[in-house]
Structure 1
Amino acid sequence: MENSFDVAIIGGGINGTSIAYQLSKMGRKVIIIEKDQLACQASSAAAGMLAAQAEIEQDGPLFQLALKSQAMFPAITSELYEYSGIDIEYVNKGMFKIAETEAIANEVKMQVAFQRKWDPAIKWLDAKELQEMEPSLSPNVVGAMYLPNDGHVQPTKLTEAFAKAAVYFGAEIRENTEVLSFIFENGQVKGVKTTQGIIHSEQVVIATGAWAAKLMRESGLDISVYPVKGECFSIKTDKPIINTTIFSDKRCYLVPKRNGEIYIGATMVEHTFDNKVTPEGIATLIERASQLVPEIKEAAWERVWSGIRPQTADGLPYLGEHPHWKGLFVASGHFRNGILLSPITGKLVADLLAGRLLDESLLSAFQLERHKETIGLGG
């Protein structure tokens, strides 16, 4: 079994596979090391929303990164289908960011004015206009910001497509293989020790989501990635009751999928890796969702699930090289934006590793040592 590679990527989720795809396409010899199976954690639990302008409300590095990544999806959809044969189910029917009270409506209208700087097609719809487009919405909804260019994908299929396309270009995938520690020599990473033996590589990427902090402590770095559990459920209808993604500031969304399912989520339970689905969590979601779309109470119950998402102290992901160990990189902490940011994460991190990143300012806000007060450096 071959155990020497140009790049070893730890984590077979959405961002690990995206990075692997971009590096493999460059001709780099890449291995993905996954302790369980591909897309078995947050990548398969997400709803797949590409909500750059609904979830991120202020301009800044994360917002600009999200806009760039969102714009990549039409091309990446075709590209991945060509190399993997997998349809990632990219749907671009827009999104409504709902206002349920006059006070919230005033806030959302301000967001409309702000967001139109980047997308003039964004507009405010009053209750009557909203009812004409989505008759199943509750008449109690005051109005909504309409984002016609926000879409969604099937996240598990996107992860599998990145992985299969990476394999097309020569990448290797090892599942059920856990990384135990790093091998360092003279300030340089030289590989990793795993449950299946040593893998040699002078570039290693940690893309293990909420589990990144544990591995980083092995390198003497204490980064502020922590887990946030999200519970979701889905229903299925014989004919569509909504056509557009519905997003509420009450932390509830409804995403209509191609197969007739509507994904509804998500709760937020911080600082836990316990991924059990609770009656309380699902009951809360049912109450919130049925207030927006009463017809869901009559729909067929499909399934429940949960995922553990990686959050950081300042809400920004970590993308960059370890400050002490050359060749060791991190791509983690994407929280609710992992699916949205996966194309740009793959491209930027691959360019960084290959020495092709022309504008390093794109990653400056996401470097590992950006806030020393919450990051401890060890020896």
Structure 2
Amino acid sequence: MSGETNERAADLIIVGGGVIGCSAAFYAAKRGLKVIVIDGGSVGGEASGAAAGMLGAQGEMLHGGPLFPLARRSRAMFPALVEELEALSGISVGYVNEGMLKPAFDGETRETLLAGAAFQRNEGERAEWLEPEEVLTMEPRLSRSLLGALYLPSDGQVSAPELTRAYVYAAKALGAAVREYEPALELLMDYGRCRGIRTPRKTYYGNEIVLACGAWASVWLNSQGLDSIESIPIKGECLMLQSAEPLITRTVFSRGCYLVPKRGNRTLIGATSYEGCTDRSLTVNGVQQLLNAACSVVPSVQQASWERGWTGIRPGTEDGLPVIGRHPQAEGLLAAYGHYRNGILLSPVTGELIAELAAGRSEEELGIGAFGFGRNAAGEQVKPKHSKEAAYP
């Protein structure tokens, strides 16, 4: 940094230790940049640690929009990324690539999924409509009342908490520093340029600052007198069950819930969606809603045993698109937030894009205008699906 000799000087200071901030740290450190990650709590302690870990580039997006190609690009990065992260960190991220099933239990959903399959195939993706007997051959514990299912062989899943930890350990192996339980209090500005971050303990100076603090990003920007694209907190509840044998072998994304098979004959069930809610309590209504939906999809859920339940606060935006880009009011300030329930999926591409921006490339060069603070016309094509019902795209 020009003229900076402070021992805490860095090329990149990342505010936020979730999966997005940690991915950015990893990709920046790979480029040889000196990186510091600052988080007010523990790394992965918010939405990243609560996520189901689905890599639903197709399952989450049955129609077009600017997010679809970005999601597919990010999903394609996972096989090589997982190998690299596990080698550097020694952490298994639980990568499973068995595909995703989206079953239909009524005619309207069947038609929606058939249309989605046609769109996906037209975009060059694998998407197969399966009749009931074919579905039950793959997943015999599914309800016999289904009318068929859309099978997306390329969608997979990971363990979200382990992926976040792997990013952190890999980044540290490459020289990054991590400061937990150290909240960012203030941006240090000098004639319109960000110079660093002040915390209760220290002042950190850097060439570029990355704001990656999830659902609280816009609140933090506004507290610094800067405009923002609003980050909307969206509470979600998840459950973990255990059974003597696996209930399912691949992710099942249905109306009212999704079921994700995990290690040790565990099944993750998620997730409710309450826009604007930051209360972290696990509600009886939410648990009942998810269990009823799961039992209607996989009846043998009723014989499983309860392991635990938890909540997380996802970061949404009004137009349903993440924010990835430079802040127009503060030179040297980058932002990466608002990924809603696709933070795990989009973590590789977001981290890589932030590293590219930090290395001097422009949003125009990277083709990410739809995700910047300017929000071009393409960014208006996708609207959010934030409701008080269990999420279903």
TM-score bracket, normalised by the shorter chain, equals over 0.9
- Is the contact between residue 57 and residue 71 of structure 2 (CA under 8 Å) also seen in structure 1? yes
- Is the contact between residue 192 and residue 198 of structure 1 (CA under 8 Å) also seen in structure 2? yes
Rounded to whole Å, the distance in 2 between the matches of 1:189 and 1:157 is 32
Q: Which amino acid aligns with 1:21?
A: F
Rounded to whole Å, the distance in 2 between the matches of 1:360 and 1:143 is 43
Residue of structure 1 equivalent to 2:25: 20
Summarize deviations over 1:223-263 as a string: whole Å, max 9, x none: 21110000010101121121111001x24100001222100
Give the one of 171, 174, 197 matched to 1:169. Answer: 174
Give the one of 297, 302, 309 matched to 1:297. Answer: 302
Give the one of 307, 312, 319 matched to 1:307. Answer: 312
- Is the contact between residue 17 and residue 166 of structure 1 (CA under 8 Å) also seen in structure 2? yes
Cα distance 1:359–1:258, how it changes in 2: closer, same or farther (>3 A)? Answer: farther
Determine whether 1:245 maps to 2:265: no
Residue of structure 2 equivalent to 1:61: 66
The 10-residue stretch of structure 1 (252-261 or 61-70) with the greater mean CA deviation from structure 2: 252-261
Residue of structure 2 equivalent to 1:128: 133
Give the one of 221, 236, 251 matched to 1:230. Answer: 236
Residue of structure 2 equivalent to 1:377: none
Cα distance 1:208–1:251, how it changes in 2: closer, same or farther (>3 A)? Answer: farther
Rounded to whole Å, the distance in 1 between the matches of 2:261 and 2:342 is 18
Determine whether 1:283 maps to 2:278: no
Q: Which amino acid aligns with 1:238?
A: A
- Is the contact between residue 35 and residue 178 of structure 1 (CA under 8 Å) also seen in structure 2? yes
Q: Which amino acid aligns with 2:64?
A: D
Q: Which amino acid aligns with 2:188?
A: I
Rounded to whole Å, the distance in 2 between the matches of 1:298 and 1:357 is 54
Q: Which amino acid aligns with 1:311?
A: G
Rounded to whole Å, the distance in 1 between the matches of 2:310 and 2:325 is 32
- Is the contact between residue 216 and residue 223 of structure 1 (CA under 8 Å) also seen in structure 2? no
Residue of structure 1 equivalent to 2:208: 203
- Is the contact between residue 280 and residue 312 of structure 2 (CA under 8 Å) also seen in structure 1? yes
Rounded to whole Å, the distance in 2 between the matches of 1:191 and 1:295 is 54
Summarize deviations over 1:191-214 as a string: whole Å, max 9, x none: 011111211112100000001011
Summarize deviations over 1:149-174 as a string: whole Å, max 9, x none: 11000011100111111101110000
**Secondary structure at the residue paired with 2:278?**
coil
The 10-residue stretch of structure 1 (121-130 or 10-19) with the greater mean CA deviation from structure 2: 121-130
With normalisation by structure 1, the TM-score equals: 0.95
The 10-residue stretch of structure 1 (351-360 or 146-155) with the greater mean CA deviation from structure 2: 351-360
Q: Which amino acid aligns with 1:332?
A: Y
Residue of structure 2 equivalent to 1:46: 51
- Is the contact between residue 41 and residue 182 of structure 2 (CA under 8 Å) also seen in structure 1? yes
**Secondary structure at the residue paired with 2:321?**
coil
Q: How does 1:360-371 map to 2 (within 5 A)?
A: 360-370=365-375
Summarize deviations over 1:16-50 as a string: whole Å, max 9, x none: 00000011111111000010001000001000000
Q: Which amino acid aligns with 2:58?
A: Q
**Secondary structure at the residue paired with 2:219?**
helix
Residue of structure 1 equivalent to 2:3: none
Determine whether 1:81 maps to 2:86: yes
Cα distance 1:33–1:358, how it changes in 2: closer, same or farther (>3 A)? Answer: closer
Q: Which amino acid aligns with 1:123?
A: E
Query: Identity rate of aligned residues, in percent?
Result: 43
- Is the contact between residue 369 and residue 376 of structure 2 (CA under 8 Å) also seen in structure 1? no
**Secondary structure at the residue paired with 1:16?**
helix
- Is the contact between residue 194 and residue 209 of structure 2 (CA under 8 Å) also seen in structure 1? yes
5+ residue gaps, structure 2, are: 1-5, 381-393
* Residue 60 (structure 1) shift: 2.1
* Residue 100 (structure 1) shift: 1.1
Q: Which amino acid aligns with 1:220?
A: L
Rounded to whole Å, the distance in 1 between the matches of 2:274 and 2:108 is 27
- Is the contact between residue 7 and residue 203 of structure 1 (CA under 8 Å) also seen in structure 2? yes
Rounded to whole Å, the distance in 2 between the matches of 1:197 and 1:176 is 12
Alignment size in residue pairs: 372
5+ residue gaps, structure 1, are: 375-379
Q: Which amino acid aligns with 1:246?
A: V
The 10-residue stretch of structure 1 (7-16 or 352-361) with the greater mean CA deviation from structure 2: 352-361
